[in-house]
Amino acid sequence: MPSIKKSITKTKTTRKPSFKTTEPYKLEYFGKTEVHILGTAHVSEVSVKTVENLIGKVKPDSICIELCESRMKSVEDPDYLKKLDIFKVFKERKMWLLMSSLILSSFQKKMGGDVKPGDEMRKAIELGRRTDVTIVPVDRDIQTTLKRSWGNVSFFSKMYLFSALITSLFVREEVTTEKIEEMKGDDILKDLFSQIPKRYESVKHVIIDERDMYLAEKIRRAATESGVKKVVAVVGAGHLQGILNHIRKINDLVPLEEIPKRKWQDIASLIAYPVFFGVLIAYTTWSQGAGAGVDLVSKLVIIKGGLAALGAIIALAHPISVFLAFITAPIGTFLPIFKAGWVAALAESYLRKPLVEDFEKITTDSESFSGFWRNRVIRIFLVFFLPQIGSTVGTFIVAWKGLKGLF
């Protein structure tokens, strides 16, 4: 990855930290500007109190937080979920982003107990607003990070990683306060990421390594380009060492913000299905007569559409959503931009808009099998996945029957 890295170590001076804490913490200097970098756990009560103590003692001119602009707005706005238009989310095909966010948030809530995920960031923002201090969101946009990570793995790797996220919803293991505090240790975090299979190294690189560079550069700019004397940066403990590795270099952010272009394999896969079934139907008609061709088309509609509709029924979708899944599945064979699950979920999100309490109860509802159908938010995602699975199974069944008929 091309990047501009220039050493700026000449600005470094050695001085003793003015703040003592057991939390992961580092004091850096850029000329006369102090940069206090605090590593936190996003579900730690100790981290929240340490943020408050650090800001109270240092009295910074600027506070950097490990959030992007959009995430900072959602953290600040208590009515964020009330304003969320899930129909718009599906219309703009951002369901993967929302799903990943909800799953990770749910998992963090299970770990945090009474502490809400990101409370230490929320505390930093609150203290900054109260004292009229500049708040600087230094993380890369969450959509960019997810698109870059998803764009670097194969379809089956995506399914594996996503299934791992889904599985995390069913975790029942109680995480103690001591365990949460242990998670701030660099050695534990390094050990965790060292166990990631090599085929997922690209995901780890995007989510961890790239963001280390991004966070470091944003913090460096906040310290050197605004004329401030004191900066406090609140970041996840897992990023602290990576930030320190890069903060003395000038990093080009442009390559880190680029969205991967669609690969030729992705384009080929979109063309392959329509071409395959078009040729299969045409050859069946030519070799066995019009009746055989019509019969194959009928199977495509009944089997593929029927299984997609069955998936929607299992998800307890609205009758209109079931009908749309049925008619979209066979159409999607020749127009791949139309997905049975996406169309059904789009209709479901319009016909049965989730209530605020549905968002608030995602964590508790995900702890039981019945809760997946009771919660409107989770059920919309069931309406998204199950018809799509049914449609995919139907594709293989019809293809097998068509080829079997020829031979």
Closest CA to 340 of 294, 300, 299: 300
Q: What percent of the chain has pLDDT over 90?
A: 39
Worst-scoring range by mean pLDDT, 129-143, 173-187, 269-283? 173-187
What's the whole-number average pLDDT of the chain?
80
- Confidence at residue 51, expressed as pLDDT on a 0 to 100 scale: 94
CA 317 to centroid of chain Cα atoms = 25
- Confidence at residue 119, expressed as pLDDT on a 0 to 100 scale: 84
124 or 357: which leads in pLDDT: 124
How many C-beta atoms surround the C-beta of residue 404 within 10 A? 8
- CA of 122: how far to CAs of 50, 60, 74, 234, in Å? 13, 16, 10, 11
Give me 375's structure tokens: 């919660």
293 or 118: which leads in pLDDT: 293
The Cα 123–Cα 96 span in angstroms is 29
Helix boundaries (H) for 92-196? 95-112, 119-130, 142-150, 155-168, 177-182, 186-194
Task: Return all residues near 196 (Cβ < 8 A) that are at least 6 apart.
Answer: 203, 204
Task: Return all residues near 36 (Cβ < 8 A) that are at least 6 apart.
Answer: 19, 25, 26, 27, 54, 58, 60, 230, 231, 232, 233
Whether the per-residue pLDDT at 10 is higher than 50: the answer is: no
Residue located via tokens 């009295």: 59
Worst-scoring range by mean pLDDT, 69-73, 274-278, 379-383? 69-73
Is 190 within 8 Å of 239 (Cβ atoms)?
Answer: no
Is 373 within 8 Å of 382 (Cβ atoms)?
Answer: yes
Give me 109's structure tokens: 């809530």
- Confidence at residue 206, expressed as pLDDT on a 0 to 100 scale: 83
Closest CA to 349 of 381, 319, 310: 381
- Confidence at residue 188, expressed as pLDDT on a 0 to 100 scale: 44
- Confidence at residue 375, expressed as pLDDT on a 0 to 100 scale: 83
Residue located via tokens 């509802």: 365
Residue 1 binned pLDDT confidence (cut-offs 50, 70, 90): very low
Give me 127's structure tokens: 């203290």
Residue 11 binned pLDDT confidence (cut-offs 50, 70, 90): very low
First to last CA, the chain: 50
pLDDT digits (tens, 9 = 90+) for 316-351: 999 999 999 999 999 999 988 888 999 999 999 889
